[in-house]
Structure 1
């Protein structure tokens, strides 16, 4: 199976091509540039480096959220457009699931934590494929003091980077993935997508929807 995966849900951007579990190429950008400017050049670079075109993909995978609302919209729109043009299906990957894939065969519980602003994090914790903390948006202190299992927990995500000292103060036995694996990677989106593919989780391009997890500020203000 040949996949093109993209992730635009955070400050980083990446595009990767995976074939039967092997990463053929990955373009990763963390230079503060706009995703709208860098996504398609990264996609083109990943495809060219792998020696394939968009039409050669069996499916297109995208991190559909949670994360940056603007980034999610850019990624899902681009994925749907590419899949429509190539006549191929899409695979929607939860960003937190993809982040947990960064940890590989880690034997300890892995907690994905993304900065959700307003003092909250988007988070999920899994251990050997079993969900210990279901996806949610909560204050960081609630996650650390009430939700996580006892014992060492491996942290991944931009909240682990931003709040490292606070996490370590609450949980002295915390473990943090190395910097090169701490943030979103399209190769992990592909790895998660392969599992979804086996389970039959293919979508048509027009069935792909952003996954915001919570309302945008505009929606909250409208309700008020």
Structure 2
């Protein structure tokens, strides 16, 4: 029985249907339309392309980050709604683990570089063990130059994948000799990879909960950072007012 897979962690929107034998259908789009506009119509289109009824789906696999906060929320909300409505399992796949599935090849390390804004990247490293990927460096946020330096200190070839490779790294000079920059179509997210990883986890019984699954954010969103700054300023302002006006608890209070 087939599974539905989707990846909305970056500007790329991708939906696929696959089973244990083959990839049945896949749609990959990168344009100015938002995921909220395109995702569900793409799900319907891919199911039609695959000749699969939604009632025939065995599970839903979805990329859970890190990546675009809005994109991740849209993808996970859609996956949860579909899984809940059809009463089928949901499987969360870390975005960079999905990227690693471009290169199920022994002897190389796959390094993810996903835009974390302000010159930073989400990064993690994976190695193929013959049947699946092992995470050999856990996900973290570092400056792009530090992520590149980490790769330069490793023995053997390292393949770079993720949106920051095409955004920034292809424009850099003097990249480490062991760092391989692949063609763009083999470095960007695709739902087929999420499907392959999802099929492995489904066979192993590694499924998630519709109620409890959350995106992997790693860092706070820009909106949260700005809100905390405003709250800090507001708290400071209130404290200063208490020190100034009679009846407060500060130096200007009347007791």
Query: Which residue of the partner structure matches residue 105 of structure 2?
Result: 105
Equivalent position of 2:209 in the other structure: 204
Q: Which residue of 1 aligns with 2:164?
A: 159
Q: Any idea what SS the aligned residue of 2:219 has?
A: coil
Tell me by how many angstroms 1:141 deviates: 1.2
| Deviation, structure 1 residue 149 | 1.5
CA RMSD in angstroms, aligned pairs only: 1.7
2:227 alignment partner in structure 1: 222
Contact 1:5/1:187 (<8 A) preserved: yes
Distance 1:67 1:21, change over 3 A: farther
Tell me, yes or no, if structure 1 residue 60 matches structure 2 residue 60: yes
Alignment equivalent of 2:141, drawn from 121, 137, 144:
137
Q: Distance in 1 between matches of 2:184 and 2:106?
A: 16
**Distance across 2 between alignment mates of 1:86 and 1:40:** 15
Task: Give unpaired runs (5+ residues) of structure 1.
Answer: none
Q: Secondary structure at the match of 2:88?
A: coil
Structure number with the higher strand fraction is: 1
Q: Does 151-160 or 85-94 show the bigger shift? A: 151-160
User: What's the offset of the Cα at 1:21?
Assistant: 4.5
Normalising by the residue count of structure 1, what TM-score does the alignment of the two structures yield?
0.93
Q: How far 1:4 moved relative to its partner? A: 0.1
Query: In 2, are the aligned partners of 1:7 and 1:185 still within 8 Å (CA)?
Result: yes
In the TM superposition, what is the alpha-carbon distance from 1:51 to its structure 2 partner? 0.9
Answer with 143-152 or 37-46: which moved more: 143-152
Report the TM-score, using the length of structure 2 for normalisation.
0.82
State yes or no: 1:146 paired with 2:150: yes
Aligned partners of 1:42, 1:107: CA distance in 2, in Å?
Answer: 36
Q: Which runs of 5+ in 2 are unaligned?
A: 230-255
**Could you tell which deviates more after superposition, 50-59 or 101-110?**
101-110
1:151-193, Cα deviation, whole Å (9 max, x unpaired): 3211111111112246652313321222222210000001111
Identify which range, 140-149 or 75-84, moves more after superposition: 140-149
Asked whether the 8 Å contact 1:62–1:91 carries over to 2, the reply is yes
SS in 1 for 2:5: strand
Contact kept, 8 Å, 2:113 with 2:160, in 1: the verdict is: yes
Equivalent position of 2:244 in the other structure: none
Corresponding residue for residue 187 of structure 1: 192
Detail structure 1 runs of 4+ shifted over 4 Å in the superposition. none
Is this contact kept in 2: 1:145–1:170, CA < 8 A? no
1:213 aligns with 2:222: no
CA distances 1:28-74 after superposition (whole Å, capped 9, x unpaired)? 11122211111111111110111112221110011011110000010
Contact 2:170–2:181 (8 Å) recurs in 1: no
Query: Retained in 2: the 8 A contact 1:168–1:174?
Result: no
Q: How does 1:16-165 map to 2 (within 5 A)?
A: 16-105=16-105, 107-128=107-128, 129-146=133-150, 149-165=154-170
